[in-house]
C-alpha cells in the first residue's frame, strides 16, 4: 500500500513540477545537431557557402599587411587567373563592407528593441542578408571570365567540406 | 489484483511523467549558425582561419509555467567563440556578445611562420555559441586533422588544352632529390589564361591536408621556376 501511495504521489508530482524544473535549467545541454559539409555537402546551401567564403577571404577597410597576405594566399589557391583573382578580391572586399554595415544596423536596432521588450524582424534581416550574398554572386558571375567563374564556383562547392552549419531547429 | 493495481498506477505515472516532459518544452530555439575553417599557404607560411556567424530565434511558449523563463530572457546574451590550434599554438577568439535576436560573428586566424617542409602540424578547431541561459546552442569542431607545407617542382610534359578562356597545363614532378612528392604525384594541372603559354618549369607549394593520417587534399599555388628543384 505504501508502494501505491508513493507511485500516486510521484504521478501527481510530475504533473505539477515542470515549471520548477524549467526555471532551473542546466547551463549546458546535449550537443546541438550540426550538418557536417564533409559528410553531406549537398545540405550546405550555396548562399551559406558563398557567404562564409567571401567573409573569410575579404578584408576590412585599411587592412594590415598580414590581412593582405592572407587574402592573397586564400584567393590564389582557388586557381583563378590573376585578373579574375583581383576582381574576386575587390568584389569580396565590397561585400565585406556592405555586409558588416548591414549587420551593425540590424544589431543596433535589435538591441534597442530587446531592451524595450520588443522583438526585431530577424527573418526579414536574414532575407536581406541572403539578397546581398545573391547579388554578390551575380556580380561575380558577370565580372569573372566564363572559365574563371566556372573554376571559382567549383572551388566554393568543394569548400563545403570544411563547413558545418546548425540543423534547422533546436527545442528545449 | 494487487499486481494489476500496481501496473495501472505505473502507466499513470509514466503518462504523467511524459506529459511533464512535454510541458518542459518552454523554449524553442531556431538557429542558422554556420562555421568554416579555411587553410592556405603562400609557400612560406601556413595559415588557418575559423569563421562563425549567424543568429538564433528564441521563442517562449505561452504557457503560464513558462513565465519565469520569459522574465529571465531579458538579460540573456549570446556569445560566439572560435579557436584553432596550429601545431602547439592556440588561437582562441571571442566575438562580441549580443542580445538573443542579434546577429553575431567571430573569427580567428592562426599562422605557422616559416613552416618546415613536409612536417605535419596538428590543426584542430572549434566554433560555438554560448547562450547565457541555455548553454551551448551551437557547437562544431574538427580534430584528427594535420596540415603540411609541401613543395613539388613540375615540368610541363603533358602539354596543354584550351577550354573557353582557360589553358590547362599538365605537369609531372621534376624533383632534384630522390623524394616522392606528397602532392602533384604523378601529375597535376595548372590553369592559365588561354592567351598565356605554359611555364616549362614551376615550383608548386601545396598545403597537404591529412585526416586521421590519410592524405585527403592538396591545394597549391604555383610560381615560375628555372628548372627542377627539391620536392617534399
- Residue B97 C-alpha cell reads as 556578445
Q: What is the pLDDT of residue A24?
A: 38
DSSP H or E stretch at residue A11: helix A2-16
Three-class DSSP category at A163: strand
Residue with cell 606528397: B182
The full length of chain A comes to 172
Mean pLDDT of chain A: 83
Least confident of A12-21, B111-120, B151-160: A12-21
Q: Which of residues 75-114 of B touch A (CB under 8 A)?
A: 98-103, 105, 107, 109, 111
**Cross-chain CB nearest to B29 (options A66, A110, A172):** A172
Q: Which residues of B touch A23 (CB under 8 A)?
A: 68-69, 72
- Tell me the pLDDT tens digit for each residue of B14-53: 333 333 344 457 888 889 999 999 999 999 999 999 999 9
- For chain B, the C-alpha Rg in angstroms (whole number) is 28
Q: How far is B33 from chain A (nearest CA, A)?
A: 5
pLDDT at A6 over 60: no
Q: Are A140 and A152 in contact (CB under 8 A)?
A: yes
- Tell me the pLDDT tens digit for each residue of A12-47: 333 323 333 333 333 334 457 899 999 999 999 999
Q: Are A51 and A140 in contact (CB under 8 A)?
A: no
How many other β-carbons are positioned within 10 Å of the β-carbon of residue A103?
Answer: 19
**B26-143: what CATH class?**
mainly beta
**Residue A60 main-chain phi, psi, to 5 deg:** -75, 170
Mean pLDDT of chain B: 88
B5-44 core/surface letters (b: 16 or more CB in 10 A; e: else): eeeebeeebeebeeebeebbebbebbbbbbbbbbbbbbbe
Q: Domain residues of chain B, as ranges?
A: 26-143, 149-225
Q: Which of B217, B64, B61 is nearest to A77 (CA)?
A: B217
**Residue B104 main-chain phi, psi, to 5 deg:** -120, 160
- ipTM tops the 0.90 cut: no
Least confident of B63-72, B82-91, B144-153: B63-72
Half-sphere exposure of B100 (CA within 13 A, CB side): 25
Three-class DSSP category at A170: strand
Mean pLDDT value across residues A156-167: 95
Interface test with A, best of B2, B3, B13 (most A CBs within 10 A): B13
Is some CB atom of chain A closer than 8 A to the CB atom of B116?
no
Q: Which of B112, B138, B123 is nearest to B46 (CA)?
A: B112
CA B70 from centre of chain:
35
Q: Which of B64, B50, B60 is nearest to B95 (CA)?
A: B50
- Residue A56 C-alpha cell reads as 573569410
Give one DSSP letter per residue of chain B, joined into a string.
-HHHHHHHHHHHHHHHHHHHHHHT--EEEEE--EEEEEEEE-SS-EEEEEEEEEEEEEEE-S-GGGHHHHHHGGG--EEEEEEEEETTEEEEEE---B-TTSEEEEEEEEEETTPPBT--EEEEEEEEEEETTTEEEEEEEE-SEEEEEEEEEEE--S-EEEETTEEEEEEEE-BSSSPPPSSS-S-EEEEEETTSPPPSEEEEEEEEEEETTEEEEEEE--EEESS-B---
Q: Are B121 and B86 in contact (CB under 8 A)?
A: yes
pLDDT at B132 over 90: yes
Answer whether B37 sits within 8 Å of A74, measured CB to CB: no
Q: Are A95 and A89 in contact (CB under 8 A)?
A: no
Give the whole-angstrom CA distance, residue B186 versus residue B176. 15
Q: How confident is the model at residue A117 (pLDDT cuts 50, 70, 90)?
A: confident
Q: What is the pLDDT of residue B27?
A: 85
Q: What is the pLDDT of residue B7?
A: 38
**Residue B183 main-chain phi, psi, to 5 deg:** -120, 160
Apex CA A106: angle with CA A102 and CA A108, to 5°?
Answer: 120
Apex CA A12: angle with CA B29 and CA B28, to 5°?
Answer: 5
β-pair partners for A36: A164
Is some CB atom of chain A closer than 8 A to the CB atom of B55?
yes
Q: What is the pLDDT of residue B24?
A: 53
Q: Which of A65, A132, A54, A66 is nearest to A93 (CA)?
A: A54
Q: How confident is the model at residue A169 (pLDDT cuts 50, 70, 90)?
A: low
pLDDT at A98 over 70: yes
Q: Which residue of B has its CA nearest to A72?
A: B42
How far CA A132 is from CA of A95, A96, A102, A138, A143, in Å, comes to 8, 10, 9, 10, 16
Answer whether A77 sits within 8 Å of B137, measured CB to CB: no
- Tell me the pLDDT tens digit for each residue of B168-212: 999 999 999 999 999 999 999 998 888 899 999 999 999 999 999
Beta carbons within 8 Å of B83's beta carbon, 6+ residues apart: B50, B90, B91, B92, B93, B108, B125, B126
Answer whether A147 sits within 8 Å of B28, measured CB to CB: no
Q: Which of residues 139-168 of B touch A (CB under 8 A)?
A: 139-140, 142, 163-166
pLDDT at B10 over 60: no
Answer whether B74 sits within 8 Å of A114, measured CB to CB: yes
Amino acid at each position: 500500500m505504501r508502494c501505491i501511495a508513493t507511485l500516486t504521489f510521484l504521478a501527481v508530482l510530475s504533473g505539477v513540477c515542470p515549471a520548477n524544473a524549467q526555471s532551473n535549467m542546466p547551463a549546458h545541454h546535449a550537443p546541438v545537431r550540426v550538418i557536417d559539409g564533409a559528410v553531406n555537402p549537398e545540405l550546405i546551401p550555396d548562399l551559406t557557402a558563398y557567404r562564409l567564403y567571401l567573409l573569410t577571404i575579404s578584408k576590412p577597410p585599411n587592412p594590415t599587411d598580414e590581412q593582405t597576405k592572407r587574402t592573397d594566399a586564400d584567393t590564389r589557391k582557388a586557381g583563378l587567373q590573376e585578373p579574375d583573382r583581383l576582381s574576386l578580391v575587390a568584389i569580396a572586399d565590397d561585400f565585406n563592407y556592405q555586409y558588416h554595415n548591414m549587420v551593425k544596423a540590424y544589431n543596433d536596432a535589435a538591441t534597442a528593441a530587446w531592451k524595450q521588450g520588443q522583438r526585431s524582424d530577424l527573418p526579414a534581416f536574414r532575407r536581406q542578408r541572403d539578397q546581398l550574398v545573391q547579388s554578390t554572386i551575380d556580380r561575380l558571375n558577370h565580372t569573372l571570365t566564363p572559365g574563371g567563374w566556372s573554376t571559382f564556383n567549383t572551388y566554393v562547392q568543394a569548400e563545403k567540406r570544411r563547413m558545418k552549419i546548425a540543423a534547422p531547429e533546436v527545442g528545449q | 489484483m494487487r499486481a494489476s493495481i500496481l501496473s495501472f498506477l505505473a502507466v499513470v505515472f509514466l503518462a504523467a511523467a511524459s506529459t511533464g516532459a512535454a510541458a518542459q518544452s518552454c523554449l524553442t530555439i531556431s538557429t542558422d549558425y554556420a562555421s568554416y575553417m579555411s587553410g592556405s599557404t603562400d609557400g612560406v607560411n601556413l595559415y588557418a582561419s575559423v569563421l562563425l556567424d549567424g543568429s538564433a530565434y528564441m521563442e517562449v511558449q505561452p504557457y503560464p509555467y513558462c513565465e519565469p523563463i520569459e522574465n529571465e530572457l531579458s538579460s540573456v546574451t549570446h556569445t560566439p567563440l572560435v579557436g584553432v590550434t596550429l601545431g602547439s599554438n592556440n588561437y582562441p577568439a571571442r566575438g562580441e556578445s549580443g542580445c538573443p535576436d542579434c546577429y553575431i560573428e567571430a573569427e580567428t586566424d592562426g599562422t605557422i611562420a616559416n613552416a618546415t617542409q613536409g612536417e605535419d602540424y596538428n590543426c584542430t578547431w572549434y566554433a560555438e555559441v554560448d547562450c547565457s541561459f541555455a548553454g551551448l546552442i551551437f557547437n562544431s569542431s574538427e580534430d584528427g586533422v594535420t596540415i603540411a607545407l609541401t613543395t613539388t617542382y613540375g615540368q610541363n610534359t603533358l602539354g596543354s588544352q584550351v577550354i573557353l578562356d582557360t589553358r590547362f597545363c599538365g605537369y609531372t614532378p621534376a624533383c632534384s632529390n630522390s623524394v616522392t612528392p606528397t602532392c602533384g604525384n604523378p601529375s597535376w594541372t595548372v590553369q592559365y589564361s588561354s592567351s598565356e603559354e605554359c611555364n616549362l618549369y614551376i615550383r608548386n607549394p601545396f598545403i597537404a591536408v591529412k585526416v586521421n593520417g590519410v592524405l585527403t587534399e592538396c591545394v597549391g599555388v604555383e610560381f615560375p621556376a628555372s628548372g627542377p628543384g627539391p620536392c617534399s
